[in-house]
Structure 1
Amino acid sequence: MAVFTEVSPAQAQALLDHLELGQLSSLRGIGAGIENTNYFVDCTRDDHLHRYVLTLFERLTAEQLPFYLRLMQHLARRGVPVPEPHADRSGEILFEVAGKPAAIVDRLHGGHQLAPDAFHCQQVGATLARMHLAGRDFPLHQPNLRGLAWWREVVPQLLPFLEPGQAELLRSELAYQEQLAASPLYAELLRDCSGPIHADLFRDNVMFEPGEGPGRERLTGFFDFYFAGVDTWLFDLAVCLNDWCIDLADGRLVEDRAAAFVAAYEGVRPLTGAEHRLLPALMRAAALRFWVSRLFDLHLPREASLLKAHDPRHFERVLRQRIARPWHALHGGAAE
């Protein structure tokens, strides 16, 4: 969500006019994130203020983008709280702004909860399960573009930048995940427990607004679906556990939060036996995915006017924790 491409007020207004959304009153670049150009767009229509997010896609192609945008549309129309892309009169939701593919979606209410407790984790877990079930009949297919095939491609490019211990960890974990992906149990997940996933549902991609009583914030939505793809639902759950349910200082799993998250998820969609068995391995896979991507963004960066790369050492710590203390949801603890 960095600003790679500058958008003028006139360019933003042209899209607002095409979509009949109103008169531009504010256009502000969003500096967080590293993949796309994002702007907060406020406009007035019928004497009311309306708030949107304009996204220009820097890496994704016009051929790939319908999957993400139609998935958001599909989920929103099935009652999952996600921003629905705005369509023009012909039903088109993908446009061009400043020479880049672009879309405009509603801005969710509320703010991030960056210090979640079990109550927040329960809401995210239950909504994630609803999202997985709602996506089962989504007709488009696109793989998780930051999955195993991508790790195989970029790991050799990253090894020269790493210290020997880091390089050995990266090699060995990639080999472990390749072996896992070739196993019959993993094939069972792909066959029976997969579909569209968010794949990046961190604390800063979920919104809450104040509810009844202190600390009782209400989840208002998931956003930033531009890493979504078809993969195992368990991988999506693992990504969440590695962010919502850890101590950020050292990557240690906070087990009461993790147990609350999984229990709420299972209240909507119970995990299969294969999923319970493979959860520790998928938590390692989720940690590897983000360690690799953060190393990639640090050592092989692109230019951006508001770009700030995330520290890859965080997910190195998370991965080492998941290897040293694998967590099993069935008995709610680490296997020594």
Structure 2
Amino acid sequence: MAVYTEVAPEAAQALLNHLNLGTLQSLRGIQGGIENTNYFATTDQGEYVLTLFERLTAEQLPFYLRLVKHLAAAGIPVPEPQADAQGQLLHSLHGKPAAVVVKLAGQSQLAPQAIHCAQLGRVLAQMHLAARSFDMQQPNLRGLDWWNDTVPAVLPYLQAPQQELLRRELAFQNELAASASYRALPASAVHADLFRDNAMFEGERLSGVFDFYFAGVDTWLFDLCVAINDWCIDLATGELDTPRVNALLRAYQQVRPLTAEEQALYPALLRAAALRFWISRLWDCHLPRQASMLQPHDPTHFERVLRARIARPGAITAEHGFATP
């Protein structure tokens, strides 16, 4: 989250009036993240998050908003988008698409332990199963096609060893995506960005998952690996923390057991998840947009994560309870 477009209280109040959400008491820009303009908006009726979309178009956004509405109806703890009198979830502010969602209670757990990872795994599996009945289609806009388009733009900023790693891993992932085993993986609309700062806890209880604006149709295994690569690692080294991984995987599989194809491709999809965020952080670092409060993430973190996943595929598979292919 960041602030690219300044929103005056009067403008926010006009939108809140349109949604019948009460009188604005405070409006505060949210620091962190990189894609959209976000504010906390507190009214006499409740607490909300106001988002202005800086890259996503009005044509793309119904997918995200309707997905969250669908998950909320299935009992998944997500920040439900607020509709106007005509039932519309997508609105406009300062000439940009906008949405207002309920603010989740609690706070992010930035040092998750096994108990937090287990709850995340259970809810993630429930989200995947609930999304099977969501009938809108939109590809993961930060998926393989975007990787292929973006890598040439960031390569000039890298040293030779990084360039070689990036080219080699991209070739590996293209070959993997063309394989029959990859095409057999179950898929639906997925979150695709479920980092520890995109979930909220009240004490040790998971109170909700939010920020679905990278969601798209992709494999469930990729979505699971994105979460594992953030929730279950040592941030300093990028190495996986086996107790946390196993807690997350056990809880996930109690709801939805992984298929044989998923177990076989698990190490490769951990690499894919690391590659996706290395590329996007390189993009944001070297080709940034201007924004108030913008703080790009360090791309070298996911370079470390990717190197760690490449180095130990057999050990990862065995330590996490799967048979080595």
Same fold, TM-score > 0.5, yes or no = yes
- Quick check: 1:219 aligned with 2:206? yes
1:244 and 2:231 matched: yes
How many residue pairs match? The answer is 322
- Contact conserved, 1:234 with 1:282, CA < 8 A, in 2? yes
Q: Which residue of 2 aligns with 1:328?
A: 317
1:255–1:332 CA contact under 8 A, matched in 2? no
Structure 1 unmatched ranges of 5 or more: 211-216
1:214 is aligned to none
Determine the structure 2 residue equivalent to 1:11. 11
Structure 2: gaps of 5 or more residues:
none
Counterpart-to-counterpart distance in 2, 1:159 and 1:11: 42
Return the match for 2:260 from 269, 273, 287: 273
Please, what TM-score do these two structures have when normalized by structure 2? 0.97
Q: CA deviation at 1:329?
A: 6.2
After TM superposition, list the pairs within 5 Å mapping 1:69-218 onto structure 2.
69-189=65-185, 193-210=186-203, 217-218=204-205
- Counterparts of 1:330 and 1:166 in 2: how far apart (Å)? 28
Contact kept? 1:202, 1:243, Cα under 8 Å = yes
Contact 1:276 1:329 in 2 (8 A): no
For 2:102 and 2:53, locate their aligned partners in 1 and report how far apart those are by CA, in whole Å. Answer: 17
Structure 2 residue identity aligned to 1:203:
R
Please provide the CA RMSD for this pair: 1.2
Match of 1:213 in 2: none
Contact map agreement 2:39 2:49 (CA 8 A) in 1: yes
Would the alpha carbon gap of residues 41 and 102 (structure 1) be closer, same or farther in structure 2, given more than 3 Å must change? same
Deviation at 1:156, TM superposition (A): 0.5
Partner amino acid for 1:74? H
Q: Deviation at 1:36?
A: 0.4
Is 1:305 aligned to 2:292, yes or no?
A: yes
Q: Which runs of 4 or more aligned residues in structure 1 lie more than 6 Å from their structure 2 counterparts after TM superposition?
A: none
Distance 2:103 2:77 in 1: 11
Letter in 2 for 1:204: D
**Cα distance, 1:127 vs. partner?**
0.2
Structure 2 counterpart of 1:317? 304
Q: Please report how far the alpha carbon of residue 332 of structure 1 lies from its aligned counterpart in structure 2 after TM superposition.
A: 3.2
Q: In structure 2, what is the equivalent of residue 44 of structure 1?
A: 44
Change in CA separation of 1:134 and 1:333 when aligned onto 2, cut-off 3 Å: closer
SS of equivalent residue, structure 1 residue 3 = coil
Q: Once the two structures are aligned, what percentage of the paired residues are identical?
A: 65
Return the offset for 1:120.
Answer: 0.5
TM-score normalised to structure 1 length: 0.94
Cα separation, 2, equivalents of 1:305 and 1:114: 24
Whichever residue aligns with residue 25 of structure 2, its letter is S
2:242 pairs with one of 251, 255, 266: 255
SS in 1 for 2:50: strand
**Residue identity matched to 1:328:** T
Which one-letter code corresponds to 2:191 in the other structure? Answer: H
